[in-house]
Amino acid sequence: MSSKGIEILRKYEEDYWKTVARARQSLPECLASVKQVVIYDCPDGYLILRYREQTEKEFIVTRDSPLKWQQLLHDQKLYDQYGKESTRRLTLGLKKPAKFAGHFITISPEALKVGNLVLRPKYLSATVIFGEPGDALSDGTKAAEADISQF
C-alpha cells in the first residue's frame, strides 16, 4: 500500500479523536474510553484497531502487516472478563457492519460466551479500508461531530 494512504488515515484518526476528546464528558464510555489507535498497513488495504488500554507511548501507531486484514483480525487474541488469555478464536462475521463512505466499514467485536466466561478481543472497534483511502476519508472532524450528535 502507500505512505500517502497511511498519512490520510493518521490525519483522519487524529482529527476524529481530537474532536471526540473535546466532547468526552457527554459521550458513552465505549467511545470516550479509547486510549490507543493502531493502523495496520495490510496487502489488501488497512485495518484500524481502537483499544481501551494504551500499550505504546503513541496514541496512534502505524504497523506493517504481511497478513490481509481478515486474517489479522482473526489472529487477535481473546481474553475473558478476568484478563486471562483464551485459546479460542472469534470468527469474523460481516453480517451487519456499520457502513461508511465508499470502501470503509467498522466492526464491533462480538462476545463469545463459554460457560461462565465472556471472551472478547482487546480492541473496541475495528475499521477496514479496502484498498487505498480516498479523499472522502480526509475529514475526521466532521465524522466525529456526526457520531457525537447521535448521543
Q: Is the pLDDT of residue 116 over 90?
A: yes
Percent over 90 (pLDDT), the chain: 26
Q: Is the pLDDT of residue 99 over 50?
A: no
**pTM as predicted:** 0.83
What is the biggest distance separating any 2 CA atoms in the chain, rounded to whole angstroms? 46
DSSP per-residue string spanning 45-110: EEEEEEESS--SSSSEEEEE-SS-HHHHHHTS-EE-TTS-EES--PPP--SSPEE-SSSEEEEPPP
The residue written with cell numbers 472478563 in the block is 81
- Are 71 and 44 contacting, i.e. CB atoms less than 8 angstroms apart? no
Please give the single-letter amino acid code of residue 104.
F
Phi-psi group of 115: left, alpha or beta (phi > 0 → left; psi -120 to 50 → alpha; rest → beta)? left
